[in-house]
Amino acid sequence: MSGTGRCGAAPTSSTTWPSTYHRAAADSPDRSTSDLDVILSGMYRHHVVHLLDKGDEQIRSRVLAAVTKDVHFVMVDWLGSDVFQALLRCCAGHYEELWSIVQALARINYRTWRCKPSDDRTCNYFLQHVLRTGTTEFKQPIVQQLMHDVVALSIDNHGSHVVQLCFKDLDVQLLCNVLTAFCELTERQLAEMVRGRSSKYVLHKLLDTGYTHLPQLASELAQRLATLPGDIWHHAEANVVKRSANRVLGA
């Protein structure tokens, strides 16, 4: 079955879609043939993924152009998500192409993919991919946008991993952005973070990382936490944060 589509139909070359797809589309005058149709086709998506994983540059270009026209729909579609993830693998190191995906998402509705990573695993995969592989210049505007909803992300089990990736590589500039965002949270937001099952670990790791690399900002955050009402610290979830804050403050 190597080199064929799911139903045995293979393109005549590595840079064209399956010819049988075009014939099928011609029999359906109410549908216009498009690259997006191929991406979302259960019959051909495996072959498209295969071409992307082979690193076919022309196919990468065509898929990228199609995906950026309706990127969020492709990401949430169970067929399109496979192609989308293959596209990310194929675009590794091509930051201009990855950035075009970021811009496409921002144009449609940034909130749909940055606030609910647990509801959309492909969106979560995308965020983790770019935060692991991108340069500082590439990641900085993404991190800045994510910080607008850092509480919602941190409380979410999957989203908390995204937030941690924003400072995990010890890039001082990105760490500064994250620490600053946390320092600017309200008392209510910080209290919610301290009590959260996932967010407590975000705070714990952020304080520990900041203590080593940006002690002044880490101390500012620890002081904010220390001023929270005493009953907040009675929750079992709060112990890990309290230990980190005390360490930063030298208590």
Place 76 in a pLDDT band, splitting at 50, 70 and 90: confident
Q: Model confidence over 24-33: pLDDT tens digits?
A: 444 433 344 4
Among candidate residues 134, 156, 183, the one where a domain is terminated: 134
Place 16 in a pLDDT band, splitting at 50, 70 and 90: low
For residue 201, what pLDDT is reported? 96
Whether residues 115 and 237 fall in one domain? no
Whether residues 194 and 221 fall in one domain? yes
Tokens of 133: 């592989």
For residue 8, what pLDDT is reported? 35
Q: Which residue has the higher pLDDT, 196 or 170?
A: 196
Whether residues 69 and 141 fall in one domain? no
Q: How many residues are recorded in the chain?
A: 251
Q: How many CB atoms lie within 10 A of CB 228?
A: 18
Is the pLDDT assigned to residue 117 strictly greater than 80? no
Contacts of range 181-184, beta carbons closer than 8 Å, 24 or more positions apart: 181/147, 181/150, 182/150, 182/206, 182/221, 183/217, 183/220, 183/221, 183/224
For residue 185, what pLDDT is reported? 98
Whether residues 143 and 111 fall in one domain? no
Q: Model confidence over 180-224: pLDDT tens digits?
A: 999 999 999 999 999 999 999 999 999 999 999 999 999 999 999
Q: Which residue has the higher pLDDT, 237 or 111?
A: 237
Among candidate residues 134, 153, 182, the one where a domain is terminated: 134
Whether residues 105 and 197 fall in one domain? no
For residue 221, what pLDDT is reported? 98
For residue 108, what pLDDT is reported? 55
Place of tokens 């998402």: 105
Distance, in Å, from the CA atom of 76 to the CA atom of 168, rounded to the nearest integer, reads 27
Place 174 in a pLDDT band, splitting at 50, 70 and 90: very high
Q: Which domain holds residue 91?
A: 1-134
Query: Is the separation of the CB atoms in 247 and 205 below 8 Å?
Result: no
Whether residues 163 and 249 fall in one domain? yes
Report the percent of the chain where pLDDT is more than 70: 80
Whether residues 231 and 215 fall in one domain? yes
Q: Which residue has the higher pLDDT, 16 or 60?
A: 60
Whether residues 4 and 118 fall in one domain? yes
Whether residues 8 and 76 fall in one domain? yes
For residue 188, what pLDDT is reported? 96
Distance, in Å, from the CA atom of 154 to the CA atom of 118, rounded to the nearest integer, reads 11
Whether residues 116 and 206 fall in one domain? no
Closest C-alpha to 209, from 165, 152, 239? 165
Among candidate residues 87, 110, 134, the one where a domain is terminated: 134
Quick one: which H or E segment has residue 35? helix 35-39
Indicate the number of domains in the chain: 2
Whether residues 54 and 141 fall in one domain? no
For residue 46, what pLDDT is reported? 87
Q: Model confidence over 146-169: pLDDT tens digits?
A: 898 899 889 988 889 999 999 988
Whether residues 192 and 122 fall in one domain? no
